[in-house]
Structure formats: C-alpha cells, structure tokens
Chain A
C-alpha cells in the first residue's frame, strides 16, 4: 500500500470473525434484521474480503447504505425458526496514520466558530458532514455539565487536538471501567455522575463533552486487537466489539480517539461503522414475531493475518466459512 506521496507505508492485515447467535424460547414466525457488520472503506482501511453467513437462510436479503454511509444488509425471515446465527468474516488492511503535530491544529474556538451558522455563509462538503455530528442524539446530551467537565482541557486558544487528547486521557484516569455499573439504557448524565462504565459509555460521555462545546464528533464502532497475557495462546471468541470517537478538525479531517484505552487508534483498531451514537450503528437490530425472552451470544475474534490458521485450521490460505 502506498500513501498519497507514493511512499510505501506499513500495512497490517487482520482476519475478524463476529458471531451472533440467538436461541429463542419459542418458535419465531417472522423476523426482520438489519445487519451492520461490513467494515467501512476508508483512506487508511481497506476491506479485502468480506462474507456474511446466515442460518437459517433468509427469504430475502438486500444491501443498502444508511444515512451515514454505513453498509447495511436487510434480512427477512418468513419461515418459523428457533435459532438465528449470523457470522461475519472480514479480511481488513489498516495503515497507520501519517504522523501529525497536534500542537499545530487550530484553536478549538476557531473550529467551533467555523461550524456555527452564519446566514448566507456557505458550508463546504466536509463542514456540512461535520454538522451532522454537532447536536444532541439519543445517547448524547448537550448540557453545561459536560462542557464544564471538559473545560479543564479546553482552555482559551488551546489547539483542538491537544485539548481533545487531554480530555481523552482525563476520562481514562478519572473513570473506572466497570461492566456492572451500567447498561445500555444508562443515561450519559449518570455516567458522568458515577464515573463508571464501559467503552460505549465513555464514547458517549466524550461525545457529550465535545458537542456541548459546539464541536463535531461522531461515534465509531469497530474492533480492537487484544493481546493475550504473556505466554498464553490467543482464544477464539474472546474479543468484543469496541467503540471510540472521531473528532472533526479542519485541515486534519476526522481524527480518532479511544477514551477507554487513552490512545489514538493506529493499526490495532478496525472501523465498522459510525453514527451520532450507538443507536445509529447497532451491529444487529431486529423485530421478531414470537420468540419470547432471549439474549444473544456474541463471539468476536480478531487475529493478525499471520495467525489466520487459528480461525481456519483446515484451510489456512483463504477465508472459508465454517458454520457452527
């Protein structure tokens, strides 16, 4: 892979498997699902191969793009079934971002003012897209409390990316990762109050801070490479989907920040989809007729391409689906 200047840059490849299984208590007569499990094509991310395996076979399947440009597969099942299994496998190539000086980014107030409306001032395409991510959404609030929390990093004339970097690090320091503390419906105001949560909560929190300051920031869903403890083998299905944020900065485009890990994603994050918050990018969302209570089992495995035999021992050279 080469960058714009034609220089060879290092590319890393991953094989990702994302399994979802629903076991229903009662037969499901009819089901519709929207699947967002196709990695996006980005300047520094390419999806080299991608396949969805679905069991039972849907009566209808269609592909379209949602309002944010994410690929969606829409499925319709009309025959009775008691189980639904969806496996997405993707071979993705990621290139590290070019090094850039965050100190040289524009002052955050300048970015904010550039995004605010002034009658008759045209918006270029990049700014127009940025304005989609300026406001409140289902899980992201615009409130003084969030702006106040962010203020310590957003001092007068601070370069935007310096301030965002500081905010991300502070969230990592001041918030505790605690899967027991929250659930999907926990409001972000409560996360701010209790200082606990998971990646999704931290992403929503950071988005609330940035949008409360008048900045454009979006929710990114994807995968992160995990490293097994020293001396232990990598386990299948031990990974999880991940979430982080992306901030709009003129001259720099969209810059990613992972508040859960206090790092700027380089070559260990793979982007699946983005939106205003989690509700725009659910990997699987559906409506079923019948079925009763159910919780899906989810298993995600992300391995460097060199270790692909872990997922495909019988055919280590190609993506082959192994329905289970």
Chain B
C-alpha cells in the first residue's frame, strides 16, 4: 500500500471519525477493511478507483440537477471506500428507525383522521393547517391497512460524542434506496475480497420484503397484483433511480399520462388496452398527483386518482398527504407524541430544534443565532439552510427580520459537528463530513423492516458542513457486517405457470410511442450522416455531382434554421461550403441537422431508459457524446461521422439482437422502417428530378447515402448506371435499404400488430403502394430517354412519402394517446 496511507490521514479529535479511533488507529469493526487496504498497492487502488468511475459511466447512473450548466445530467458521484457500521450499533439504529416509521405513520393517521394531537395541544396547528404540505382532500381517507407511510427514509448524522441524531425525515417518496443498491453493486465489485470476508449484509431481502408488502396491502380483489412506479419523468432529479428501481422490482415505470381512472379504479393504458393497477409506488409529489382535486395545473398527475383512493381501490405509497411530516419543526414535539401514540419513549433523538412559532423558542433562537442552523419549517420553501455563525451585518439583520415576520415558518437546529469519514481523493485518504440515509418499509402488518445498509452521504468538500445531493454531494456504500448470519426464510409465494410473462403485456402506450420515435430518429441520424459523409468526401474535388448532393441535403432541411430556436445564433453568412456542411452536422439550431436529431434521439431514449440493457444504453449514450467537442475541419467532421455511424450500427445491432421482441420493440422497428421509407424516397427524388446531363453523376453518392454502394459494386462491378441503381434502391425485395423492402416489412409488422393488439390493419395506406411497386415497368429505364419512366417514378416516390407520413399518424392515433391540459375556471363577479 502507499506508505502512510492510514497514518497520514488527518484525524481530528474534535470530531467523531467513523474509521479511526485515533491517528492511524482504525476502529475494531474497520480493522478487516483497513488490513485489506494496507495489503493493496497504489496501482491496485487506482485501478479500483477507475473501476468505480467506469461502472458509473457505463450504467449511466446520474443525478439530474436543474441548474446544472452542463445539461440536466450529472454523473452520480460515488466514493470507492465504503462506510462500515458496527453491527451491534446497527441493530439499535435500525430498531430506532423502525420505531420512528411507526410513529410517523401513526401521526399521519391522526392528522388526516381524528386530530387528537391538535386537540390535546401536542402539535401546533400551524405545522399542520399552516403548511403547504397538508393535503386537505386527503382528510378522512383511510388507506389500505391504515398504512400512510409505506416507505420511509431518514437522514442520520453522528455527533462528536458518537451518538446518532435524526437530521431529516423523508416521508413522501424517499429517494436513495435505488442509489444505495447501485452503489452496493459497484463497490462490492471494487473490493470483492473484503466484501466477502467481512460478510456484509445483503440488500436484496429488503426489496423482496417491499414487493411482498405491496402484494399484501394492495386491494386486489383476488387478482394478481400489478404495482407500477409513478415518475414525474426523465427531467426529475432522481429519474435514473426511478428507472433502476422499476427494473429491479419488476414494476412498470409509468408517468401520469400512462394511467387513467375509470369507475374509481386505476388502469394502465397499454398497447393492448387497459390493465387494472392495484398499487402505485409514487415518486411524484402529492400535490401533482390529481389535477382534479389537487394542483389543477399539474400535467403530471392522474385525474380522479383521489376518488379511487377514497373508494379504497388502489394503494398509493406513500399516501397522498404524507409529505406534511417533512418538517424539522416537528422534531421538538415528537418525544411527547411518541409517548402519547405509541406509549413508549422515542428511541432516537432528533437534532435539538427550536420551532420559532413558539415565543420562548423564538427568543432562544434570536439569542443564540451563532450556535444554530436556520431552516425552513415547511417542505417546499425555497430556502437553503443558513448557519447562524456565518451570517453577518446586513445578511444577519435580514434573516432576523424574515424570522420575525413569519416565525412559524422557521426552525432552528443545533449546529451539529457531524462525524467524518475518509474518502479516497488524490491518492490519499481525506476527511469529509458524512451522514447516512436509512430506509424502511412497511411489512403490511403494522411493523416496519429496515434496509440493512444505507446511502452514505458525504459533504462535497473537506470542511464543508452541508450534505446535499442536489448541491454536489458525494455518496458512499454503507456496509453492515453480519456477525451471526441468520437465514430467515421468507414466506414468499413462488411464481407459478400462470404468472409467466413472455409478451410484455404491460407496455404503456407512451413507451411504444417513445420507442417508435427512437427508431425514427436513429434512422434519421444515419441517413443524414451518410449523406454528409458523401458530400464531405467530395468537397475537395470539382465533382459535378456536388450540386445535386447539396440540393439533396437541403431537401432534408439540414441547412434550414429551426423556427424560433431558443438558442439560435444571429443570422450567419456561410463563408464556405465546408462551414455549411459542418453546420449541417453539428448545429442543433437547424431543423434536421445530425446534432438536432441526436438530441431528439437522446430525449426519446431517456424516456425508455428502463427498457434497455446497460450495453444498449451505453451505445446510445456514446452517440450523444460524439458532437460534444467543437469540430473545425472536414477531416475532423468525417471522423466524427465515422464514430456516429459505428454507434448507430452498434445500436441497431443491439435493437435487433438484444431487445425482447415484445410489442414495444415492434414499434421501434416500425419507426425505423417508416423513417427509412420516407428518407429513401426523398433521397432518390433528387436524381429523378435532375436534368439528364447531371443525373448519372449523382448515382454514386446516391448509392453511398442509401448504404447500397457495396452491394452495387459486388453485383455489377462497374460505374453506377440508372437502371440497376434504381432497381437496387427502390424495387429490390432483398435489399434492406430498398423502398420495396421497407414496404414488405411494414406490411408484415402492421398485420401482426393489428392481429395481436386487436386493431384493424391500415391496408388503405400500405397496400396500394405495394401494388404500385409490384406493377412498375422497369423497362422504361432501358431507353436512352427514360423521362416518362422517371415521371412515373417521381409520382411513386411522392406516394411513398405520403404513405410514410400517413402511417406515422395512423400509428399514433391507434396506439398512443395525448392529453390536453386541464381547464381552469373563470372567476366570480
């Protein structure tokens, strides 16, 4: 190991250090891991660091940050060193977390029910009625099993004396358990030997227990329960986790528009029709869940959802309204409430807190500002925690004035010098503030099970106190050792033959739509890139064909500015053909540049992230990165195009070879074929419409752009001529890049889709085109004056373009749906 790795670590006695009891002296439960570290060379440690970084990159683990200038994705940051917690200590911790979950559940049941806590003066009404998290329409609702808090997350931090404190409760849709699982998959592979030898508790059992609780609690009326994971969508900061958990738990990942309520029952809109949903694991804030009764302007929710909840027809985890407890202002009231509701003392203290809504507390806060951290009392208030000792002069006066104006909206907490743990940075161990988020889930019978692990949360810089993922924090895997492995037999029903799923019957219509566009955009990128490559390789010569190529590119709208593009530069003067062609490649403000289509492709792909394997995702992800660097020369552009083509080929290979042939996949292929049909027809149109003198010069690039030059050369071994070129690109049933081939495949797929999904086959659109192709007389091209045949072909190409567009519309109408925003009502007189 690197000399002095452990002994050089700057241990500070004023803080609790998770790993070290004294300088260079690991705590007993860390000894095994410390020994392991010491046995490794620097090179080996660096390899592991790289392994962790690569694994995150490859899996596309991200945390979206709204204000991130680099776009909406930031790689998840994971330290390779785990946080190890002593198992004896852990059993106390987990019991305290389970108790807290029971307590908070009981509080929710009281607040939306009899409200004893308010009538008895145990909780101020300001923290219930006075805060935006209280959902009035949830009053009087009784969720299945009276479980309001299905899943619970709690942030813990350790004080200098080694005691753990609760810092924050996550009661609405706690995020992080998926990231914790992902961290585990990576770190356990970075240190496989240590992981095995230390006998670290596995996480899978927790997620199994969660699946079982859903099955136990969901109102199923005897049906096999269908649970979905409801996400706000790919722009949410933790969307990666939604997709990851959905896949891991086997729950369809849905957005509000995928669900509908009929007869107080929730249904999933699938490509085949409606399927009843029995439970919803939601990551959508409750205010957005139902535009009918909650926020009317929410386009993310499901109208009528609360009606279904009121009727007891669906389990929502967590219940609508559970966010009301995400307030540090409650901390001071919990000990007495715990005695009242559970009849037992609160096992783990919250960090000392003063809710300013009480006069004595307010006075204390104003008198001790330097020792306190000021926080908003209500979730959703846009305010960062402020450290009193960092507030000076005007800033301090402003804060005091804010508190005095609305004291009940603020809470002050003791400034805890939280514990530290080493992170691996710059080839050494550095101390950082750490905390953990612990997860718990209802067992469905009144109890809670706690995940034997946690999301380790690390401050972004040494000496920094705030631990926040949104603000650039780092995470750690958290290991709890099993001293005496206990193999609990879980009462789990095994899957039977009736449960077997082979056709993906739950594919949401929206997923079909995004796969369809994924297919269209990937094909559009390919055609555009091939066309540009043909043009760029000819840019130096004085090729007569150049003019036709430029018009073909213009026909595809690759030069044209997107109307009203937000990021459009001022009108430009193209200094040269080179610049013009490079613009058609890299400029995202053009209607149909390769960059524009790559962006659209990334959006569509992001929407169906959960349906792709890691490799598949990786291929697409790489595609998005290719035009990130500035491109200033044709050579450079050509090399970028080569990479794009390779990635495209990799992606289509995966699509053909790797993806399940379910109904969703079929829409990907439909999109691809429809796009290729339209694109090919457009390409061929340029030479068909060109003057006779220029036509023959265009055939070579046409074959290149149509990806058929190799076939042509193999077949004819001569300079391209009109008849064989048109045959190969339009009429050949064996060439996957011929119009005829697209029509055949489309007929086949549409017929099968119509048969399996129970919709009529749109014969009106496809069949006439197939007949036209079948009957077309190619002999007309043998003559020296093929003008009549060309005119006929031009009509055929136009028909093909119209058919492609109509088919696209038809597929949308038949299989996908659209929602229109909710209406608002006029005011009174």
Q: Please give the residue numbers on chain A whose beta carbons come within 8 Å of chain B beta carbons, in ascending order.
A: 32, 34, 60, 62, 64-68, 74, 76, 78, 117-125, 128, 131-136, 142-144, 179, 183-184, 198-200, 221, 240-243, 278, 280, 282-292, 294-296, 298
Whether the Cβ atoms of A288 and B823 lie closer than 8 Å is: yes
Q: Please give the residue numbers on chain B whose beta carbons come within 8 Å of chain A beta carbons, in ascending order.
A: 115, 118-122, 124-126, 129-131, 136-140, 262-264, 291-293, 296, 303-304, 307, 310, 357-358, 405-406, 819-820, 822-829
Nearest-neighbour CB distance to chain B for A155, whole angstroms, equals 22
- Measured between beta carbons, the chain A residues less than 8 angstroms from B310 are 64
User: Which one of A34, A62, A117 has the greatest number of beta carbons of chain B within 10 Å?
Assistant: A117
Whether the Cβ atoms of A200 and B823 lie closer than 8 Å is: no
- Measured between beta carbons, the chain A residues less than 8 angstroms from B119 are 122-125, 128
Given A66-B136, A67-B139, A128-B118, A294 and B823 contact (CB-CB distance below 8 Å):
yes
Nearest-neighbour CB distance to chain A for B523, whole angstroms, equals 32
Whether the Cβ atoms of B823 and A183 lie closer than 8 Å is: no
Nearest-neighbour CB distance to chain B for A209, whole angstroms, equals 16
CA separation between A144 and B126, bound complex, in Å?
Answer: 18
Given A66-B137, A120-B122, A136 and B130 contact (CB-CB distance below 8 Å):
yes
Whether the Cβ atoms of B130 and A288 lie closer than 8 Å is: no
Given A32-B292, A119-B358, A289-B819, A134 and B826 contact (CB-CB distance below 8 Å):
no
Contact check: which of B137, B358, B405, B829 meets A144 at CB < 8 Å? B405
CA separation between A15 and B305, bound complex, in Å?
Answer: 35
Whether the Cβ atoms of A78 and B262 lie closer than 8 Å is: yes
- Measured between beta carbons, the chain A residues less than 8 angstroms from B829 are 179, 198-199, 240-242
CA separation between A131 and B119, bound complex, in Å?
Answer: 11
Q: Which residue of A lies closest to B333 (CB)?
A: A119
Contact check: which of B303, B357, B827 meets A32 at CB < 8 Å? B303
Nearest-neighbour CB distance to chain B for A6, whole angstroms, equals 33
- Measured between beta carbons, the chain B residues less than 8 angstroms from A294 are 823
Count contacts between A and B, CB distance < 8 Å.
123
Additional A-B contacts beyond A131-B125, A133-B129, A288-B822 (12; CB < 8 A): A68-B136, A117-B357, A119-B358, A120-B121, A120-B122, A123-B125, A200-B827, A278-B828, A280-B136, A287-B822, A290-B820, A292-B820
CA separation between A65 and B467, bound complex, in Å?
Answer: 43
Whether the Cβ atoms of A221 and B828 lie closer than 8 Å is: yes
Whether the Cβ atoms of B819 and A117 lie closer than 8 Å is: no
Whether the Cβ atoms of B825 and A60 lie closer than 8 Å is: no
- Measured between beta carbons, the chain B residues less than 8 angstroms from A123 are 118-119, 121, 125
Whether the Cβ atoms of B823 and A60 lie closer than 8 Å is: no
Whether the Cβ atoms of A134 and B819 lie closer than 8 Å is: no
- Measured between beta carbons, the chain B residues less than 8 angstroms from A183 are 827
- Measured between beta carbons, the chain A residues less than 8 angstroms from B124 are 117
Nearest-neighbour CB distance to chain A for B70, whole angstroms, equals 35
Nearest-neighbour CB distance to chain A for B122, whole angstroms, equals 7
Whether the Cβ atoms of B827 and A184 lie closer than 8 Å is: yes
CA separation between A280 and B293, bound complex, in Å?
Answer: 9
Nearest-neighbour CB distance to chain A for B574, whole angstroms, equals 42
Whether the Cβ atoms of B307 and A119 lie closer than 8 Å is: no
CA separation between A206 and B247, bound complex, in Å?
Answer: 53
- Measured between beta carbons, the chain B residues less than 8 angstroms from A143 are 405
CA separation between A67 and B291, bound complex, in Å?
Answer: 16
- Measured between beta carbons, the chain B residues less than 8 angstroms from A118 are 121, 358
CA separation between A179 and B826, bound complex, in Å?
Answer: 13
Q: Which residue of B lies closest to A184 (CB)?
A: B827
CA separation between A125 and B125, bound complex, in Å?
Answer: 13
Whether the Cβ atoms of A74 and B130 lie closer than 8 Å is: no
CA separation between A304 and B749, bound complex, in Å?
Answer: 69
Whether the Cβ atoms of A285 and B292 lie closer than 8 Å is: yes
CA separation between A289 and B269, bound complex, in Å?
Answer: 15
Closest 8 CB pairs of A and B: A67-B136, A184-B827, A135-B130, A131-B125, A240-B829, A117-B124, A287-B303, A287-B822
- Measured between beta carbons, the chain B residues less than 8 angstroms from A119 are 121, 358
- Measured between beta carbons, the chain A residues less than 8 angstroms from B125 are 117, 123, 128, 131-132, 134
CA separation between A119 and B332, bound complex, in Å?
Answer: 11
Whether the Cβ atoms of B126 and A117 lie closer than 8 Å is: yes
Whether the Cβ atoms of A132 and B129 lie closer than 8 Å is: yes
Given A60-B263, A135-B130, A288 and B820 contact (CB-CB distance below 8 Å):
yes
- Measured between beta carbons, the chain B residues less than 8 angstroms from A125 are 119
- Measured between beta carbons, the chain B residues less than 8 angstroms from A62 are 264, 307
Q: Which residue of A lies closest to B824 (CB)?
A: A184
Q: Which residue of B lies closest to A282 (CB)?
A: B825
Whether the Cβ atoms of B118 and A131 lie closer than 8 Å is: yes
- Measured between beta carbons, the chain A residues less than 8 angstroms from B120 are 120, 122
Whether the Cβ atoms of A298 and B827 lie closer than 8 Å is: no
Nearest-neighbour CB distance to chain A for B334, whole angstroms, equals 13
CA separation between A223 and B130, bound complex, in Å?
Answer: 29
- Measured between beta carbons, the chain A residues less than 8 angstroms from B122 are 120
CA separation between A294 and B138, bound complex, in Å?
Answer: 30
- Measured between beta carbons, the chain A residues less than 8 angstroms from B130 are 134-136
CA separation between A236 and B358, bound complex, in Å?
Answer: 54
CA separation between A241 and B828, bound complex, in Å?
Answer: 6
Contact check: which of B131, B357, B820, B826 meets A289 at CB < 8 Å? B820
Q: Which residue of A lies closest to B301 (CB)?
A: A287
CA separation between A217 and B262, bound complex, in Å?
Answer: 38
Nearest-neighbour CB distance to chain B for A72, whole angstroms, equals 9
- Measured between beta carbons, the chain B residues less than 8 angstroms from A290 are 820
Whether the Cβ atoms of A285 and B828 lie closer than 8 Å is: no
Given A34-B293, A68-B136, A286 and B823 contact (CB-CB distance below 8 Å):
yes
- Measured between beta carbons, the chain A residues less than 8 angstroms from B823 are 286-288, 291, 294
User: Which one of A34, A67, A179, A284 has the greatest number of beta carbons of chain B within 10 Å?
Assistant: A67
- Measured between beta carbons, the chain B residues less than 8 angstroms from A295 are 826
Q: Which residue of B lies closest to A66 (CB)?
A: B137
Contact sample, A vs B, 23 pairs, CB 8 Å cutoff: A65-B140, A67-B137, A67-B140, A78-B262, A118-B358, A120-B121, A122-B121, A123-B119, A123-B125, A124-B119, A128-B125, A131-B129, A133-B129, A142-B406, A143-B405, A198-B828, A241-B829, A278-B828, A283-B825, A285-B825, A286-B292, A289-B819, A291-B823
Nearest-neighbour CB distance to chain B for A296, whole angstroms, equals 6
Nearest-neighbour CB distance to chain A for B281, whole angstroms, equals 23
Nearest-neighbour CB distance to chain A for B404, whole angstroms, equals 10
User: Which one of B126, B405, B829 has the greatest number of beta carbons of chain A within 10 Å?
Assistant: B829
- Measured between beta carbons, the chain B residues less than 8 angstroms from A278 are 827-828
- Measured between beta carbons, the chain B residues less than 8 angstroms from A135 are 126, 129-131
CA separation between A154 and B577, bound complex, in Å?
Answer: 78
Q: Which residue of A lies closest to B127 (CB)?
A: A117
Given A34-B292, A285-B825, A121 and B121 contact (CB-CB distance below 8 Å):
yes
Whether the Cβ atoms of A242 and B828 lie closer than 8 Å is: yes
Whether the Cβ atoms of B304 and A76 lie closer than 8 Å is: yes
User: Which one of B121, B124, B125 has the greatest number of beta carbons of chain A within 10 Å?
Assistant: B125
Nearest-neighbour CB distance to chain A for B331, whole angstroms, equals 14
Whether the Cβ atoms of B358 and A240 lie closer than 8 Å is: no
Q: Which residue of A lies closest to B263 (CB)?
A: A60
CA separation between A132 and B118, bound complex, in Å?
Answer: 11
Whether the Cβ atoms of A285 and B296 lie closer than 8 Å is: yes
- Measured between beta carbons, the chain B residues less than 8 angstroms from A131 are 118, 125, 129
- Measured between beta carbons, the chain A residues less than 8 angstroms from B826 are 184, 295-296, 298
- Measured between beta carbons, the chain B residues less than 8 angstroms from A287 are 291-292, 296, 303, 822-823
